[in-house]
């Protein structure tokens, strides 16, 4: 029985390896030569979507992302599953596949890790920490009702907490505008919300201009620069 089982297992592994190489080639090609048959080149890999529990195909895409990132030194951004263990699991897969975690953004932390100790534990892993749901003031988070979705002032408090804990070089902020009602044309805050409304509130809450400049200018610039 053993030899047959081993052969079968090798066959599966070979098939998986082939799929991984194909995925990696697609990602590398879209950065070096252009996406979707055009000559428009991608500047980042992402947002790589993950669910919880993670599926086998998602894990393979993460491994291909790590391989492409290793070859090109490009920035990567990840959409974690809706569970506080998901960002840890994702970073572990990327690390094992050889990715540079310092070039990786973990997005949507505002709805994912809501405990201080766990957030600090995650921050130690070295990725960028993104609070990117500014402007989303929801009583019910339809995708995950057990999460108490924070409001903007709570997001500011999380940013301040991480700044005070020494993670100012890892922070990023964004709006994640993905529906019409978020645009000013349809009554939303629009793309100027952070600059117009959030930054003044951050200053009121004692976050210094130097820390704000890191989040809005220096950190994005460093992340987006190919190594």
Helix (H, G, I), strand (E, B) or coil at 172: strand
Structure tokens at 50: 């993950």
**Which residue, 50 or 212, is less far from Zn ion as judged by CB?**
50
Contact stretch for Zn ion (CB under 5 A) within 14-22, 25-33, 73-81, 90-98: 73-81
- Per-residue contact track with Zn ion, 26 to 65, x per CB under 5 A? ---------------------x------------------
Q: Does the footprint of Zn ion cover residue 79 (CB under 5 A)?
A: yes
Give the helix/strand (H/E) hosting 130.
Answer: strand 128-131
Contact 184, 203 (CB under 8 A): no
Least Å distance between CB 97 and Zn ion? 21
Number of residues that bind Zn ion (CB under 5 A): 2
Least Å distance between CB 107 and Zn ion? 5
**Which residue, 111 or 214, is less far from Zn ion as judged by CB?**
111
Least Å distance between CB 77 and Zn ion? 9
Q: How far apart are CA 84 and CA 89, in angstroms?
A: 10
Least Å distance between CB 1 and Zn ion? 45
Contact 80, 112 (CB under 8 A): yes
Contact 159, 202 (CB under 8 A): yes
**Which residue, 45 or 207, is less far from Zn ion as judged by CB?**
45
Structure tokens at 121: 């534990």
Among 154, 161, 118, 119, CA closest to 133: 154
Structure tokens at 56: 């086998």
Least Å distance between CB 108 and Zn ion? 6
Residue with the CB atom nearest Zn ion in the bound state: 79
Q: What is the DSSP letter of 80?
A: -
Structure tokens at 12: 């599966």
Which parts of 157-196 interact with Zn ion (CB under 5 A)? none
Least Å distance between CB 79 and Zn ion? 3
Interacting residue ranges for Zn ion, rule: CB under 5 A: 47, 79
């Amino acid at each position: 029985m053993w030899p047959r089982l081993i052969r079968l297992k090798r066959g599966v592994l070979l098939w998986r390896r082939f799929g991984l190489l194909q995925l990696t080639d697609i990602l590398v090609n879209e950065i070096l030569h252009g996406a979707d048959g055009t000559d428009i080149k991608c500047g980042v890999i992402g947002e790589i979507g993950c669910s919880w529990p993670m599926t086998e195909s998602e894990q393979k895409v993460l491994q291909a992302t790590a391989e492409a990132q290793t070859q090109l030194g490009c920035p990567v951004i990840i959409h974690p599953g809706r569970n506080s263990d998901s960002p840890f699991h994702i970073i572990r897969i990327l690390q094992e596949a050889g990715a540079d975690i310092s070039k990786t953004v973990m997005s949507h932390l505002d709805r994912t890790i809501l405990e201080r100790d766990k957030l600090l534990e995650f921050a130690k892993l070295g990725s960028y920490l993104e609070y990117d749901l500014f402007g989303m003031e929801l009583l019910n988070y339809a995708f995950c009702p057990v999460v108490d979705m924070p409001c903007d002032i709570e997001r500011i408090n999380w940013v301040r907490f991480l700044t005070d804990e020494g993670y100012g070089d890892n922070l990023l902020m964004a709006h994640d505008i993905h529906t019409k009602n978020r645009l000013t044309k349809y009554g939303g805050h629009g793309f100027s919300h952070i600059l117009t409304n959030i930054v003044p509130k951050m200053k009121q809450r004692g976050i210094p201009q130097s820390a704000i400049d890191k989040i809005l200018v220096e950190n994005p610039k460093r992340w987006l620069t190919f190594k």
